[in-house]
Amino acid sequence: MEILKAEHLLKVYGENETKVVAVNDISLTVHKGEFVAIVGASGSGKSTLLHILGGVDAPTKGKVLIDGEDVYSLKDEKRSILRRRKVGFIFQEYNLLPILTVEENIKMPLSLDGKKPEEAYINEIIQTLGLEDRRTHLPNQLSGGQQQRVAIGRALANRPSIIFADEPTGNLDKKNGYEVLGLLKKSLQKFSQTLVLITHDVEIANMADRIIRIEDGKIIQDEVRAHD
Amino acid sequence: MINERKLAFKYLCKKKRRSLSTLFAIALSMFIVFVSGNLIMGAFYASKQAELIRNGNHIAYLEEMNLEQISALEKEGVVLCALENSTYFMGKMGMEDHEGSFGFYYFEDFSNFPFYYEVVQGKTPEKPGEIMINEMWKYFLGEDYEIGDTITVQLTGMELKTEPNQESVVTEENSITRTYTLAGYYRCPEYSWIEDGVVMVKDEPRKEGNTYRVYITSEEEGIEDIESVEGFEEKEDWARNLGEKYGAKVEVNWLFEKSQSEETAMGYCLVLIFAVFIGGFAAIVIRNSFVISIVERTRDYGMLRCIGASKRQIRKIAFYEAVMLGIAGEVIGLIVSYLFLYLVIQIGKEHISFLEEFKFVQRPVLIFGICLIVFLVVLFGLLEPTRQINKLNPLNALRNQKDVKKEKFRVKRRRGFLVAKLFGVEGEYAYKNLMRNRKRFITTTASCVVGVTFFIGTNAAFVYSEQMLEEPGIAYADYNAELYVHSWCMDSEDSLKEELESIKGISNITFCYQEFYRIDNESLKRKEDGVVVKTNYVLALDEGKYPIEKESVEKGEIGELKPGECYVINWGYDDEKKEIVEISDVSVGDKIQLHELILAEDESTEKTISELKVKAVLKEQPFANTYSYYPVLVMSKEGFQALCEEQGMSYEEYGKIHFKMDKNCDTSKVQELADKYGMLFFDEMKDAREAAEQMKMARLVVNAILILVALISSVNLFNSMESNNILREKERKIMRTVGMSKKQYRKMILLEGMLSVIIALILGTALGLAFGYGIYNIMVLTENELKFAVPVESIVFAGVGLTLLTVLSCMGGMKEE
Ligand SMILES: Nc1ncnc2c1ncn2[C@@H]1O[C@H](COP(=O)(O)OP(=O)(O)OP(=O)(O)O)[C@@H](O)[C@H]1O
Ligand SMILES: [Mg+2]
């Protein structure tokens, strides 16, 4: 089942001399349950593509369909709703609200929707991520790895159709990075989620079902990997 | 569950400093607007209250009401304050035949008297035939009568009524005499309807056939509370309807006229304008405060947008925050205002006369109106942040690079050089930092300059305006007070002088024995050998000594005046016939013929009396008195005695003591003395003193507003310092790592704040003095002897105050590691 479909995406920054084509005619399809890794050199347009796919940055040209819905044909209000219901984001900088506790941060996408969180599910996430004894802590009382785990929890909280992660382990040391990613993968399987992830780390990319390689805003390789 | 409201609340609680500074700004604006609103409306109501006391509690009066109509009125439930039956007479009163025109007001009942008066001696008339006389007459009658005595009034001329409703012409021939019992003397506040020449008489019970003027009021109306002067329209209509019903002429007390509601509206309008002015100012500060919190939270908001918060939801967070701050700020502002007003009124009552009658204004219109305005101001402050939220691109927000990218580094080396030289390397850095945001630096400095200019300028103006008031009417600075002396105390002349001299702050005591004036505006005509004076005003001076300054001598010489000699003062006046003899027309040596001094009974009997030789012509008016627009002759006591002998009159009858009181003079002592000798005391300085007090008040108010505005502005400074800190967190860390000490860093930040202030103080003082000097030059056109004064205190105050505010806001805005 197609969960994400992108058609001829183009993103141009600037004009004339400073003109940069960050994404150059990219089309791709992601299926439910897939774990896609996007790799490429710095400045190749990975983040730009991810943002366009995630519905936060409109492409200059092209279409993005999430769950069959044309994201950029929606008005801002509707698009926000779509984002909080169907999309989860994880950033390199963990980007938690410093004023909220771990639990509140995780529940936030639901709160924004005015929904009552399903306590059992939230507890499960917290447990899976190993944050039980940190529930009431504020972000600045947590380590980087712990903060990223909270961010993962937040991305999972609204049972999104698809999760986008931009170098989620970029700020963590190797050991912590793998731990976080292990948890992410475990959660994905447990909650049968789809993930599109950007990474520079070959080993992490190798954990994915599919690796898309980008250069100068173009897909130069789309490889589906067979796992054991 | 976390919703927008809770998020907003959390932001408020976690970002304490930001919240507190915004709260402070809101509460302070509330405070300023509420206190000044209360003062404006309080002053307005106080003056209305005073008018109400003066003009009485009646809503209106109906003319020419007969007894039948009156009882019908009473049945209708109309409250009758008084029945009045008045007549005016030209008459003579007392044994010495004190003449004057006086009105007789007949009142049935004094218990619900329609005007305000005080009984100064004796009591209010109770029985028919008892009278109460204005205290002005006490000086004439006091010798002849005591309270309880029977007083004879001879009534002649002028009026038609001698008895209530009995119409007949009373002429000299058929003058009538009435006797009353003197019950007491009363006093009325200034400008009251029942002034000097009025005698109030307890009338006999209602007489059939008489008509009365009936003062009416409605049942709920009372004299006590100004709050009752409301519903003007209804009250006026009510009175007019009654008049129509009874076919009577209605005169509505102006306090209850419809125009009153317009005046009240005007008072509120004034408050509104003021509130909008201060509110506009506060809105800018509050807006900046909100904008900074948006900048602070760009990342947070961006992230929220990424995970699916809509713009509306983010706006809601900002909105709820503003609402909570707004409500809290208003409540705090209100409480502090009330405490402040309470304290000011309690403490200030004894020192500032204006506050004596002051009342809290607890009208919902005022309180809710001001709350609403301040709330609107807060919402207005949200406009720009809302715009920024709408503009917020979630990705840029996350990158948080917006502000850094926007900065344009165009720092020129040379310019920073001076600052560096003055304040060291920290000064250089501070300057460069300021230049990163040139526009803000220039606006801050410019607004400081404007503030300082205004402060110094107005204070300079106030300083020499006060100077001007200290010397009112410089032209007649020798005297500023008069005591009217009557014959019975002239015997004790020496002891009187001694006692007067013993009062501190009194100088230039001069006795004048006689004055005549007759105002018939006959022309002053130059005859071949002299000038004929028909309209005249003659002063005789104590032993010819009249301390005249040399500058005031136009022609001739001053010195001892011999009998037959005189000074001429203020010669030349505008009479109706335009036959004016100018001062330049009279020369030393001219002979002046005085026409008869006493009122001529018959023009034909008028005889010319001795000639006076002009010894000097003076251009200044002799005394700070009001009738000096008539020509004045000054002569010696001996000369005057001779003149009086020739005219067969006594020179002692009236007298006047002129003297000068300085600032420290205790006027109540003079009043005591006047009371002791039965003299009237005229204090020409009274108005000037009141004006000076008002001026002081105005200065206080203007300065207080400026200081409060400066306080609000310091919130702005605090905010920008804090936002700088947040935006430059990394830079600070780098600087600290590289080896900048905490002290150096502080100095740098402080200099960032102080540079604007230093520039503003220098420029603002210069401009303010120029501004003040400009006003001075305009004022100087009329009054010459004022010197331009540099308001040193104000300059020092501005310097110290601004520095203190800056240091405090910089220190407050600086986050410690
Ligand atoms: N807001 C922007 N304005 C102008 N150019 C931009 C903007 N954002 C990205 N770019 C440009 O688009 C290109 C792609 O940027 P992008 O951030 O997608 O790279 P990336 O592949 O994620 O790199 P990295 O691995 O370093 O994160 C870059 O050349 C970048 O300079
Ligand atoms: Mg990137």
For B753-811, write each residue's pLDDT tens digit. 888 888 889 999 999 888 888 877 776 655 556 677 788 888 898 889 888 888 887 77
Which residue has its alpha carbon closest to ligand 1 atom 30? Answer: A43
DSSP state of B544: G
- Write the pLDDT tens digit of every residue in B101-154: 566 676 766 766 667 777 888 888 888 778 888 776 776 676 677 888 887 776
Does residue B590 carry a pLDDT above 80? no
Alpha-carbon B725 to chain mean position: 48
CA distance B265 to B246: 33
Could you tell me what percent of chain A has a pLDDT over 90?
A: 31
B306 to chain A: which residues are within 8 Å by CB? Answer: 54, 56, 83, 89, 91, 95
pLDDT of residue B403: 43
pLDDT of residue B100: 59
At position B384, the amino acid (one-letter code) is E
Rounded to the nearest integer, the mean pLDDT of chain A is 87
Cβ of A56 and B305 within 8 Å?
yes
pLDDT (mean) for B225-248: 74
Q: How confident is the model at residue B365 (pLDDT cuts 50, 70, 90)?
A: confident
Does residue B720 carry a pLDDT above 50? yes
Q: Which residues have a beta carbon within 5 Å of ligand 2, which is an ion?
A: A 47
Whether the Cβ atoms of residue B313 and residue B53 lie closer than 8 Å to each other: no
**Which atom of ligand 1 lies closest to the CA of A44?**
21
Query: From ligand 1's centre to the CA of A44, what distance in Å?
Result: 7
Residue A117 C-alpha, separation from nearest chain B C-alpha, in angstroms: 8
- In this structure, of A106-115, A211-220, B184-193, B612-621, the range with the lowest mean pLDDT score is B184-193
**Which atom of ligand 1 lies closest to the CA of A14?**
4
pLDDT of residue B776: 76
Whether the Cβ atoms of residue A170 and residue A200 lie closer than 8 Å to each other: yes
pLDDT of residue B747: 80
CA distance B501 to B497: 6
Counting one residue from chain A and one from chain B, the pairs whose CB atoms sit within 8 A come to 83
**Helices B16-55 and B259-296, axial angle in degrees (round to 10):** 170
> Mean pLDDT highest for which of A68-77, B553-562, B636-645, B663-672?
A68-77
Torsion over CA: B601, B607, B610, B613 (sign): positive
Whether the Cβ atoms of residue B517 and residue B627 lie closer than 8 Å to each other: yes
Shortest CA distance from B3: residue in chain A: A111
CA distance B196 to B211: 25
Q: How confident is the model at residue B58 (pLDDT cuts 50, 70, 90)?
A: confident
Minimum-distance CB partner of A114 among B3, B7, B10? B3
A91 to chain B: which residues are within 8 Å by CB? Answer: 303, 306, 398
Please count the helices (runs of H) and the strands (runs of E) in chain B.
23, 24
SS3 A167: coil
B311 to chain A: which residues are within 8 Å by CB? Answer: 76-77, 80
**Which atom of ligand 1 lies closest to the CA of A200?**
25
CA distance A225 to A213: 13
Cβ of A91 and B303 within 8 Å?
yes
Q: How confident is the model at residue A220 (pLDDT cuts 50, 70, 90)?
A: very high
Identify the residue with better confidence: B577 or B734.
B734
CA B96 to each of CA B119, B143, B153, B181, B538: distance values in angstroms, whole numbers, following the listed order? 25, 9, 11, 17, 24
pLDDT of residue B95: 52
Does residue B235 carry a pLDDT above 70? yes
Domains and CATH numbers, chain A: 33-56+84-224 (3.40.50.300)
Interface predicted TM-score (ipTM) of this complex, two decimals: 0.76
Q: Per the structure block, which two tokens stand in for B750?
A: 């402080």
Which residue has its alpha carbon closest to ligand 1 atom 28? Answer: A43
Residue A109 C-alpha, separation from nearest chain B C-alpha, in angstroms: 6
Does residue B487 carry a pLDDT above 60? no
Does residue B572 carry a pLDDT above 60? no
pLDDT of residue B625: 44
DSSP assignment of B715-742, as one string?
A: HHHHHHHHHHHHHTHHHHHHHHHHT--H
Q: How confident is the model at residue B518 (pLDDT cuts 50, 70, 90)?
A: very low
Give the residue among A45, A55, A154, A168 at the shortest CA–CA distance from A104: A154
Beta bridge partners of residue A224, listed in sequence order: A210
Cβ of A109 and B308 within 8 Å?
yes
Query: From ligand 2's centre to the CA of B396, what distance in Å?
Result: 13
pLDDT (mean) for B449-456: 84
DSSP state of B641: H
pLDDT of residue A10: 94
CA distance B185 to B197: 12
Does residue A148 carry a pLDDT above 80? yes
DSSP assignment of B563-614, as one string?
A: TTEEEEES-----TT--PPPGGG--TT-EEEEPPSSPPSSGGG-----EEEE
pLDDT of residue A38: 94
A77 to chain B: which residues are within 8 Å by CB? Answer: 310-312
Rounded to the nearest integer, the mean pLDDT of chain B is 72
Helix or strand holding residue A23 (H, E):
strand A20-31
pLDDT (mean) for A113-140: 85
Which residue has its alpha carbon closest to ligand 1 atom 4? Answer: A13
**Mutate which of A16, A39, A46, A198 for ligand 1 pocket (most atoms within 8 A of beta carbon):** A46
Minimum-distance CB partner of A81 among B310, B393, B395? B310
Cβ of A89 and B311 within 8 Å?
no
- HEC string of B425-491 equals HHHHHHHHHHHHCHHHHHHHHHHHHHHHHHHHHHHHHHHHHHHHHHCCCHHHCCCCEEEEEEHHHHC
Give the predicted TM-score (pTM) of the model: 0.62
Q: Which residues contact residue B326 at a Cβ distance below 8 angstroms, ignoring those fewer than 6 apart?
A: B26, B374, B375, B378, B379
Whether the Cβ atoms of residue A31 and residue A3 lie closer than 8 Å to each other: yes
Does residue A71 carry a pLDDT above 60? yes
> HSE (CB half, 13 Å, CA atoms) of B653?
13
pLDDT of residue B194: 45
CA distance B581 to A181: 113
- In this structure, of A183-187, B48-52, B273-277, B568-572, the range with the lowest mean pLDDT score is B568-572
CA distance B189 to B134: 11
Q: Per the structure block, which two tokens stand in for B449?
A: 């300059």
**Which atom of ligand 1 lies closest to the CA of A48?**
18
Cβ of B307 and A100 within 8 Å?
no
Residue B291 C-alpha, separation from nearest chain A C-alpha, in angstroms: 19
pLDDT of residue B652: 53
Angle, vertex CA B661, rays to CA B659 and CA B664, nearest 5: 160
pLDDT of residue B172: 56
Cβ of B308 and A51 within 8 Å?
no
CA distance B719 to B291: 10
Query: From ligand 1's centre to the CA of A46, what distance in Å?
Result: 8
pLDDT (mean) for A120-138: 87
Whether the Cβ atoms of residue B628 and residue B622 lie closer than 8 Å to each other: yes
pLDDT of residue B595: 57
Does residue A105 carry a pLDDT above 90? no
- Write the pLDDT tens digit of every residue in B406-444: 444 444 444 566 766 777 767 777 777 777 677 777 877
* A217 in contact with ligand 1, CB cutoff 6 A: no
- In this structure, of A65-74, A137-146, B349-358, B699-708, the range with the lowest mean pLDDT score is B349-358
Residue B556, sorted as left (phi over 0), alpha (psi -120 to 50) or beta, turns out to be left
